[in-house]
Chain A
């Protein structure tokens, strides 16, 4: 098992190196010039001489391999450089914002699982019922509606109905956990709607399949209650693909947050990365993409390990390899 984990970590490191190379060069290939943005873009025409001075100051006048080598060298010692926009170390900016993003992701996933799995199970247990029909309609809406739109509708609806609007100062979780949870509930709901719908649909479809299996018929023949059949025999066996989905969707959640955080003005990584890319803040954009890639790698690893815990067959296969 340790070998397996080490091997996966090794693959993860190679993946991160690939991401580092890609994000560095993609940022440079993107149309747009950091020097222009640092020269008060939109404030008026800037001469090429002034731009050259700014480029020189930022070190952008050197060759790309030299720039990459310098950046990669710093990243190797966990220094992501200094943001061109905020003037602060990128790692510091990320550290301040990451807890908000992580909390929204966790809360969104908790909401999605706590609501989506029971909905899927109930729907599968009573196929064709009005509840099942409602779930299917709801899941289509959840999948079709982008999270930022859901967020906007939520904001407008809450103002219209309760004169309630999103808070302006977001309390960190470690300062006031309950307040923080209540503040981030709506952004988490908006961003988690898609995952909720996906999980509900996936659970329903897997459960329908599982509930038709021979061992379920056997369990029923043994005289077990329907609850025990569905929950103990059905759900346990149907959970595996759902766990896989959750693993993938955690990565997708980070992507969905980019716009939703902006809608709710949550000071997380989403807003930061949008601003960094718009301003061609290379160190910030590169640093954050690298961090997000690291999270995805770790997420996938966690899912693989969970697989082992849930399904002994995968442990055996991993050990065989």
Chain B
């Protein structure tokens, strides 16, 4: 399925979904490399990430640290084409069929797939995995359960047929299933562990091209080629991942050739240094991660829309991007709620309607006039001059810390007395989870960029990212309407209407989008940078030209 097809009005239909599936199959079967490139077999790819994964249970986490180790080991029902983010390829499901009413999706699983522990893959495993995400057992946490909120029933029909019934048709459903975190785990392993409330935190048993063979906390995570992998045999013999917290230290390890690559460099100066190194590829890829200012609408005066609008009006977004971007990778902006480059982006005329968004780069807004209006709105709302606001933030991540500092300084321009309370991750997340804040600046990483992924998780009352704790039935209904609309043109308009309605509320105040740096020696071949931090991290097609 083509992601752009789904996004472009008039081109997404059930038939197109099915055709895309067939096309994807053909693409999957085609040779992966041109004759000019002759992939070499063997070798160890040495990578680094920013630390140890908190655990290996990919369903239970949202951090890239767990996903980076898990991705090469696990499979999903379908996955993003490593060469084209907008296409889905079959992964465990060799065939996908959608019923005429769009409410029943049938996945035909490949034959002969085995897990790393030798157990054969069955539809029961796939059914259990999706159920585990949608409706986790007691003590198991599922941050992405909202993605499968439209699922009515999941049923294994025979050993290789999985049927998912939706409460309503949902054009984005296959993309939600293909989220790189929505991996298939073996029921017979996971179920007893889930019953104990443990989950699969300490082990990886997947069907992916590599299996976990060594995990030494603080030292190394080693993955070895899985000889019974159902797909084309991976070229690499091993992948070693080394947890290195600091960006400078990761950069040093890369330059010192201790590692072959690293796919997580937010800081621009580090990446700029690596760009100058001969024989190295260093690039920045935009990813569906946004930085928003989130007022707590349960607290006065942020329950007043005039105050929230004043906050938005006070901000110079272009200045934010120029200042915070080099520190955190927040270089990008979009018009509306969807990621940069989305066909659902709003027009400049649309976005200018909303207080403060005309200060996005290139829109020529009048900051002084905006701030004068913000001061007037605050006065109307009865907010006294020098009103004290504390923004708690986590001190170890620039996308939080430096963003909060920048926002605090900007809000002082409208006579608010804003300070930043820098905490460690443990304290910050507790404050945020319990709603004990006035406003926060949050960097939110999404696994995917379709409207249901971005809007559903990020901008609904029941979405996982509603840190501001707002409740708006009308907006939720608008979200559901677009999510279920099969006519692409109508859907496009519904998505536009949703964005306009949401932006009017200022429940969340959009600031910028993040792009992460990736750098690797040119000996690493076959890896394609997709515009998503989590996508194409399986490394089955990667080889070393050494």
Q: Are B52 and A50 in contact (CB under 8 A)?
A: no
Residues of B within 8 A of A1 (CB): none
Q: Are A267 and B430 in contact (CB under 8 A)?
A: no
Q: Are B220 and A168 in contact (CB under 8 A)?
A: yes
Residue from B48, B197, B218, B457 having most chain A Cβ neighbours under 10 A = B218
Q: Are A264 and B433 in contact (CB under 8 A)?
A: no
Given the interface pairs A163-B257, A166-B249, A168-B259, the reply to whether A40 lies near B62 with Cβ below 8 Å is yes
Q: Are B433 and A31 in contact (CB under 8 A)?
A: no
Q: Are A169 and B248 in contact (CB under 8 A)?
A: no
Q: Are A278 and B219 in contact (CB under 8 A)?
A: no
Give, as a whole number of angstroms, the nearest-CB distance from B516 to chain A. Answer: 16
Residue from A39, A40, A155, A275 having most chain B Cβ neighbours under 10 A = A40
Given the interface pairs A165-B255, A265-B243, the reply to whether A42 lies near B429 with Cβ below 8 Å is yes
Give, as a whole number of angstroms, the nearest-CB distance from B471 to chain A. Answer: 12
Docked CA distance A96–B240 (Å): 20
B158 is an interface residue with CB less than 8 A from chain A: no
Give, as a whole number of angstroms, the nearest-CB distance from A100 to chain B. Answer: 9
Q: Are A279 and B426 in contact (CB under 8 A)?
A: yes
Docked CA distance A192–B2 (Å): 58
Docked CA distance A169–B258 (Å): 10
Give, as a whole number of angstroms, the nearest-CB distance from A257 to chain B. Answer: 13
Q: Are B256 and A263 in contact (CB under 8 A)?
A: no
B252 is an interface residue with CB less than 8 A from chain A: yes
Q: Are A163 and B255 in contact (CB under 8 A)?
A: yes
Q: Are A166 and B253 in contact (CB under 8 A)?
A: yes
Given the interface pairs A44-B457, A45-B467, A264-B249, the reply to whether A86 lies near B217 with Cβ below 8 Å is yes
B110 is an interface residue with CB less than 8 A from chain A: no
Selected from B48, B430, B457, B466, the residue in CB contact (under 8 A) with A33 is B430
Interface string of A21-39 (1 = CB under 8 A from B): 0000000001111101111
A-contacting residues, B518-539, CB 8 Å:
none
Residues of A within 8 A of B467 (CB): 45
Given the interface pairs A40-B61, A44-B457, A152-B248, the reply to whether A169 lies near B219 with Cβ below 8 Å is yes
Q: Are B429 and A54 in contact (CB under 8 A)?
A: no
B464 is an interface residue with CB less than 8 A from chain A: yes
Q: Are B464 and A45 in contact (CB under 8 A)?
A: yes
Interface string of B457-493 (1 = CB under 8 A from A): 1000001111101000000000000000000000000
B29 is an interface residue with CB less than 8 A from chain A: no
Can you name 25 A-B residue pairings with CB atoms under 8 Å? A32-B424, A32-B426, A33-B426, A33-B433, A40-B60, A40-B62, A42-B63, A42-B429, A43-B141, A44-B457, A51-B433, A87-B198, A97-B218, A156-B252, A159-B255, A163-B255, A164-B256, A165-B252, A166-B258, A168-B220, A262-B246, A267-B217, A267-B219, A272-B217, A277-B426
Query: Top 7 closest A-B pairs, CB basis?
Result: A165-B256, A44-B464, A43-B62, A267-B218, A32-B426, A43-B143, A41-B429
